[in-house]
Structure 1
């Protein structure tokens, strides 16, 4: 092979090797740029709070949860929503105890019973975990604040509404969510005090629904059978009024029986539009949840919060109800 041929051959090999090197280099760059490294995002939270409800899937408490989650998202809080699947005071107590044992930064809950909740809340606060009561107060405990309805006043409003709407003449049956729960007791007491001066109004019976749709319907049905003189109902929990209305419609007595309910769940509003429920007590569960989280943050940061914050309470009738009432509430949130 001539010297010239050898040089050409060597140059060809060198060119090939250099080309491969460049191809490998650029190929590597393309791969690394096209396939970015996996990044694990660990979300950081300022605080860890627990909201303990009376009944986990209760529609009213889901609205409280919705408000609490909105505030938690805004202020960087890890929020857990917990509680018994069905209203049960022992399970409720256990949930609070477990939350305290996990050393969360704050607990928001109802103060359902003085006998069981006052010492429980006192023990939790003694461990350095602040407690705010929501919807139902435990006024004799060491809870740091309460936010929610003035339940006595709400019952009193309901009584005055019934007086006005029935012109002071009615035989009333009350179905209440719970005989032991403070807020239900206060609503019944407020209602009783409002109507006690009216000679034409008689409270015939008071029954307990145990925060159960089925029980509320059973009680309403039994009342209509046992007390045919009853021509008015007061339901003190969100589900009571709905099930009373359902039973009254079943008997086709919606034009003969006056119903005043509690809260503005979609079904309640539908019954008001139809005229089966004549009035309802409006609470602000979303606001309770939202402000409870904000108050807990203030407490953790050493700020002073008012011991009692009463959210708005009013009476709603069909004439007060725009067609898009429920939608409007959601938009305003």
Structure 2
């Protein structure tokens, strides 16, 4: 009788539904002190909670340091996370790290900044050439009379930023806009440095008619940016000086609304975080995902900034 009871218990255990597999997916930004990536983190956490069987791990270098990012990826591989979503700081370094992860059986996607020649399965984020074109188009539409302009970029080894710079140049080529020598300046995602570079550009080039940061860095230091822009408020209003800036974080929208910039072109980092979780979960289930998943752009001027803030 006892043997029959034990057999029945064993059979019941076999027929019980298996506990749902849980996954630990890591999102690795370029820098954790960049508020742009906070939104990607929030999207990741929200989607992981909705999925129920997914944990979002958000970990990256505090500042923009490609070597630190590579080490963090190696640590996550050693921890045997179930998937990686990486915003690539340095293409060469990330390509090696991605290969190590894939060799360890960990699916990898990139978001925000890509390494297309690597072993990553997919890229989720902005079409960065189109992003640059949109920045150039906004400047050209606002000030077709042209003048001298300069750009500010982040890290020189970031492919996404190089594509934005190329996009701006592509649109403005043949127009009345002329890029000054030494442009772009590279702030390496240092927001205080980005503000200082804007002032340095204006001091060295008093006739500079526009500055186009291809990332939102200077506006992420709102007090410093406001202090800089307030010196040229009348010129910003008259069209003598123009600021067209990448990204549309709330703090940037507020600065635009207050007249400290002329226009913004924004990405959708929250959506990047959400879609990264979906893509990694699909890969763990053996499903295919599209190689390029573009999340779109938002163009904001004083005419529609109120709607964006809502």
Q: What TM-score, normalized to structure 2?
A: 0.87
- Give SS of 1:318's match: coil
- Partner-residue secondary structure (3-state), 1:107: strand
How far has the Cα of 1:221 moved from its partner? Answer: 1.2
- Tell me how far 1:70 sits from its aligned partner: 0.7
Which aligned pairs between 1:118-267 and structure 2 lie closer than 5 A?
A: 118-198=95-175, 200-204=176-180, 205-241=183-219, 246-252=227-233, 253-255=235-237, 256-267=240-251
CA contact under 8 A between 2:89 and 2:155: conserved in structure 1?
no
Q: Deviations over 1:267-299 (max 9, x none)?
A: 211121122211111111010000110110000
Inter-partner Cα distance in structure 2 for 1:303 and 1:245 = 48
Residue 305 (structure 1) aligns with? 289
Tell me what 2:57 maps to: 80
What SS is found at the alignment partner of 1:322? helix
1:117 to 94, 107, 111: 94
Tell me the number of residue pairs that the alignment of Structure 1 and Structure 2 aligns.
Answer: 283
Using structure 1 for the length normalisation, give the TM-score: 0.81
Q: Which 5+ residue runs of structure 2 have no aligned equivalent?
A: 1-18
Once the 2 structures are TM-superposed, how far is the Cα of residue 245 of structure 1 from its aligned partner?
Answer: 5.2
- Whether the aligned pair in 2 keeps the contact of 1:113 and 1:181 (CA below 8 Å) is yes
- Sort the Cα spacing of 1:72 and 1:144 in 2 relative to 1 into closer, same or farther, 3 A: same
Contact 1:241 1:260 in 2 (8 A): no
Question: Do the aligned residues in 2 keep the contact of 1:145 with 1:307 (CA within 8 Å)?
Answer: yes
Equivalent residues in 2 for 1:20-99 (5 A)? 46-75=22-51, 76-99=53-76
Whole-angstrom CA distance in 2 between matches of 1:291 and 1:270: 27
Consecutive unaligned residues of structure 1, counting only runs of 5 or more, are 1-42, 329-333
Q: Is 1:112–1:183's contact at 8 Å kept on the other side of the alignment?
A: no
Change (3 A) 1:111 1:130: same
Whether 2:247 is the aligned partner of 1:270: answer: no
Distance in 2 (CA, whole Å) between partners of 1:244 and 1:152 is 26
Taking the aligned partners of 1:272 and 1:109, their CA distance within structure 2 comes to 30
How far apart are 1:152 and its partner, in Å? 0.9
Q: 1:286 corresponds to which residue?
A: 270
Output the CA distance in 1 between the equivalents of 2:142 and 2:236.
15
CA offsets, 1:127-178, max 9 Å, x none? 1100010101110001011100001110011101111100141211111122
Give every structure 1 segment of 4 or more consecutive aligned residues whose post-TM-superposition deviation is greater than 6 Å: none
Which residue does 1:14 correspond to in 2? none
SS state at 2:170 partner:
helix
Alignment root-mean-square deviation, CA: 1.8
* Cα drift, residue 322 of structure 1: 2.4
Q: Which moved more, 1:312-321 or 1:67-76?
A: 312-321
- Highest Rg: 1 or 2? 1
- Between stretches 77-86 and 252-261, larger displacement belongs to 252-261
Q: Is the 8 A contact 2:91 2:157 kept in 1?
A: no
Distance 1:232 1:207 in 2: 14
Matched residues in 2 for 1:275 and 1:45: separation?
51
